[in-house]
Chain A
């Protein structure tokens, strides 16, 4: 028996070493190279199939585009099953796990904040703007660019926004919410509301999208989130002062300091004057809010008033196929998901993303009884920057570092301490 055990152990070790050897030998230089996209007319649809990976919020548009594609390219197989979770980091985890075992999808949806993760580890194909359909708002492509190349086609996008309760503001003497432009005004108004209600009056969640929220506060104040050399951009006097809003709100005991969902529930219940959010939440707030809740989205204020370009939120499509024909079909599929009809399905009444196709926006605005809040979400047409933009495969640890930074300031630590610490950690992760 003992010899048997030893034999078994050695077989296992051999298998193990064999596996690791496999890893070393099969792939030599350019690992993960996605294929160049070949001309689609040279590809035979009946011999090809493409596999998609995406979160459930994309399902209606994906199903629509799938039907169109199957008519256009008879015989083409499209394997399009939504992931279970609508969370972008879960989606990334799943795609990486699938790819690790040889089930790499051809076309993936990804949170815009993970663009650099894909471009720096999976070498995706570039997106040719000429293939995009009529009406597509090309200014949004900037959210999917690295350098001057497009790797991602924005699909369901949103922008940072401040939701305000007009009743609470009116009680504090502010009748025109849109007049709130600076962080100073925000603090002042929040103080007045808190004095009246005795409760925290503003929520800027730190845990759901810490990179996006801090980027929004920094860029809205006209500072850079990522410096030109790719390192941490806002460890500057103005940057620290801008993000220091979180610290000020905590010290003055004005901040609620809960997750975005919980803050939203409080906002809907009429307990919160300000809730920082994304425009894609507007539809849900509208659905959940009682009729008598008087609220409106306003442009995100900045340190000295809004003076910068905001980061795009939401998701987009990236082609990571290793086969040139599959890449071509994936590219065609992307175009079908950005048409007017598809855009109505992906961004319409249920989701309140900004429609990426302006024909869809026009159609939506023709409807009756459009809530002004929805109008705000649909008609946003300013340029947007990429979300985050730090290089490399370190997206997740960077997000965690920024979360730590926000949470430290959420307990009253000053930006003068928290920001340099975050800058140091992130620059070390980036090798800067």
Chain B
């Protein structure tokens, strides 16, 4: 009986891994297909020939070099600001008692339930009134804080043992020093995990940049995929795949590098062990 379960588990795991990876493989598979426009019809699982020219074509046509740089600037800009706003907020909500704490926490959590599409148009109009449409600042600004970030970090900070906080106080550390030299280091796993989550989200964000970015100098990577679609002249599938692979690569590499920390950090408390 137990053997049967083990076997079932093994099969389930193997199937899940294959299904999870397959679309990525297929993206690469299409990207190395010959660029004769027949990418859709009957590709074999294993390519008979490799045509790497699609990558070069995609890179040039979509101006991916500049888009990738923009993506990095915008993603890191957002991350930095989010950390600057979320860490103190989480600290306040985790380690202080004050009037209105419950209401404010509710206010933060309710943000999770407001779809970004509902705020899209007014934010867009407002930013343009300030002259920030079609700028990198406009791409960053609406995301300066993150409800999920505050939530995750607060969970971690709640778990810091009181004794340690007490020790900090006896050492004469003020709230800010305590935050910087005690709370932040002890929340490192959650901070790392949230950072990854933020990077994934904003590197891949589509709807907001689609609305804000106009000039080629401002384009972020996902937007560049649109250039391969044209109703009059048709799609360029292999180049589109190649571009998609290039756009996807950086986050995957980052993820592979930081994978262990990410999983542990997502857990929040009790990770040091």
State which of A81, A97, A101, A158 has its C-beta within 8 Å of the C-beta of B232. A158
1/0 contact string of B52-72 vs chain A (CB within 8 Å):
000000000000000000000
CB distance from A77 to the nearest CB of B (A): 15
B100, A56: Cβ atoms closer than 8 Å: no
Q: Is A247 in the interface zone, CB < 8 Å from B? A: no
Within A9-45, the residues touching B (CB, 8 Å) are 19
A85, B227: Cβ atoms closer than 8 Å: yes
Interface segment among B155-163, B179-187, B210-218, B265-273: the answer is B210-218
A100, B125: Cβ atoms closer than 8 Å: yes
B231, A86: Cβ atoms closer than 8 Å: yes
Within B117-151, the residues touching A (CB, 8 Å) are 124-125, 128-129, 133
Q: Is B233 in the interface zone, CB < 8 Å from A? A: yes
State which of A55, A94, A313 has its C-beta within 8 Å of the C-beta of B214. A94
Q: How far is the CA of A94 from the CA of B41 in the complex (A)?
A: 34
1/0 contact string of A75-104 vs chain B (CB within 8 Å):
000000101111110100010011011110
Q: Which residues on the A side are within 8 Å of B233 (C-beta)?
A: 57, 86, 280-281, 283-284, 351
Q: Which residues on the A side are within 8 Å of B215 (C-beta)?
A: 81
Interface segment among A214-222, A249-257, A262-270: the answer is A262-270
State which of B42, B128, B231 has its C-beta within 8 Å of the C-beta of A101. B128
Q: Which residues on the B side are within 8 Å of A88 (C-beta)?
A: 231
State which of A90, A103, A208, A288 has its C-beta within 8 Å of the C-beta of B36. A288
- Given A2-B100, A81-B214, A97-B211, also A287-B37 (CB < 8 A): yes
CB-nearest residue of chain A relative to B104? Answer: A1
Q: Is B230 in the interface zone, CB < 8 Å from A? A: yes
CB-nearest residue of chain B relative to A269? Answer: B41
Q: Which residues on the A side are within 8 Å of B40 (C-beta)?
A: 261-262, 265
Q: Which residues on the B side are within 8 Å of A101 (C-beta)?
A: 124-125, 128-129, 133
1/0 contact string of B35-49 vs chain A (CB within 8 Å):
011111110000000
CB-nearest residue of chain B relative to A351? Answer: B233
Q: Is A355 in the interface zone, CB < 8 Å from B? A: no
Q: Which residues on the B side are within 8 Å of A271 (C-beta)?
A: 41
Q: Is B80 in the interface zone, CB < 8 Å from A? A: no
CB-nearest residue of chain B relative to A288? Answer: B37
Within A96-128, the residues touching B (CB, 8 Å) are 97-98, 100-103
Q: Which residues on the A side are within 8 Å of B235 (C-beta)?
A: 261
A81, B229: Cβ atoms closer than 8 Å: no
Number of A residues, CB within 8 Å of B = 47
B38, A280: Cβ atoms closer than 8 Å: no
A209, B223: Cβ atoms closer than 8 Å: no
Q: How far is the CA of A269 from the CA of B133 in the complex (A)?
A: 45
Number of B residues, CB within 8 Å of A = 30
State which of B39, B133, B224, B230 has its C-beta within 8 Å of the C-beta of A86. B230
Q: How far is the CA of A81 from the CA of B214 in the complex (A)?
A: 8
Q: Is B23 in the interface zone, CB < 8 Å from A? A: no
Q: How far is the CA of A262 from the CA of B219 in the complex (A)?
A: 28
Q: Which residues on the A side are within 8 Å of B260 (C-beta)?
A: none
Within B187-233, the residues touching A (CB, 8 Å) are 211, 214-216, 219, 223-224, 226-227, 229-233
Q: How far is the CA of A188 from the CA of B190 in the complex (A)?
A: 68
Q: Is A203 in the interface zone, CB < 8 Å from B? A: no
Q: Is A330 in the interface zone, CB < 8 Å from B? A: no
Q: Is B99 in the interface zone, CB < 8 Å from A? A: yes
Q: Which residues on the A side are within 8 Å of B128 (C-beta)?
A: 101-103
| Residue with the highest number of chain B CB atoms closer than 10 Å, among A84, A103, A209, A262 | A84
- Given A56-B227, A94-B214, also A156-B232 (CB < 8 A): yes
CB-nearest residue of chain B relative to A277? Answer: B234
Within A39-63, the residues touching B (CB, 8 Å) are 55-57
Within B231-266, the residues touching A (CB, 8 Å) are 231-235
Q: Which residues on the B side are within 8 Å of A90 (C-beta)?
A: 226
Q: Which residues on the B side are within 8 Å of A287 (C-beta)?
A: 36-37
Q: How far is the CA of A406 from the CA of B230 in the complex (A)?
A: 22
Q: Which residues on the B side are within 8 Å of A353 (C-beta)?
A: 232
| Residue with the highest number of chain A CB atoms closer than 10 Å, among B37, B219, B229 | B37
Q: How far is the CA of A87 from the CA of B128 in the complex (A)?
A: 24
CB distance from A429 to the nearest CB of B (A): 23
Q: Which residues on the B side are within 8 Å of A87 (C-beta)?
A: 226, 229-231
CB distance from B142 to the nearest CB of A (A): 15
CB-nearest residue of chain A relative to B63? Answer: A84
Q: Is A311 in the interface zone, CB < 8 Å from B? A: no
- Given A97-B211, A101-B128, A103-B128, also A314-B37 (CB < 8 A): no
Q: Which residues on the B side are within 8 Å of A85 (C-beta)?
A: 226-227, 229-230
A98, B214: Cβ atoms closer than 8 Å: yes
Q: Is A278 in the interface zone, CB < 8 Å from B? A: yes
B227, A261: Cβ atoms closer than 8 Å: no
CB-nearest residue of chain B relative to A264? Answer: B234
CB distance from A9 to the nearest CB of B (A): 11
Q: How far is the CA of A158 from the CA of B231 in the complex (A)?
A: 12
Q: Which residues on the A side are within 8 Å of B39 (C-beta)?
A: 265
A288, B38: Cβ atoms closer than 8 Å: yes
Q: How far is the CA of A158 from the CA of B232 in the complex (A)?
A: 9
Q: Which residues on the B side are within 8 Å of A264 (C-beta)?
A: 37, 234
CB-nearest residue of chain B relative to A4? Answer: B100
CB-nearest residue of chain B relative to A258? Answer: B40
| Residue with the highest number of chain A CB atoms closer than 10 Å, among B37, B129, B233 | B233
CB distance from B114 to the nearest CB of A (A): 15
Q: How far is the CA of A269 from the CA of B43 in the complex (A)?
A: 12
- Interface positions of B (Cβ within 8 A of A): 36-42, 99-100, 124-125, 128-129, 133, 211, 214-216, 219, 223-224, 226-227, 229-235
Pick 7 A–B contacts, CB within 8 A, sort by A.
Answer: A1-B100, A81-B214, A83-B214, A84-B226, A280-B232, A283-B233, A353-B232
- In addition to A84-B223, A269-B38, A314-B232, 9 A-B residue pairs with Cβ atoms within 8 Å of each other are A1-B100, A57-B232, A84-B216, A87-B229, A94-B214, A103-B128, A265-B41, A278-B232, A281-B232
In order of increasing CB-CB distance, the 4 nearest A-B pairs are A86-B230, A288-B37, A101-B128, A85-B226
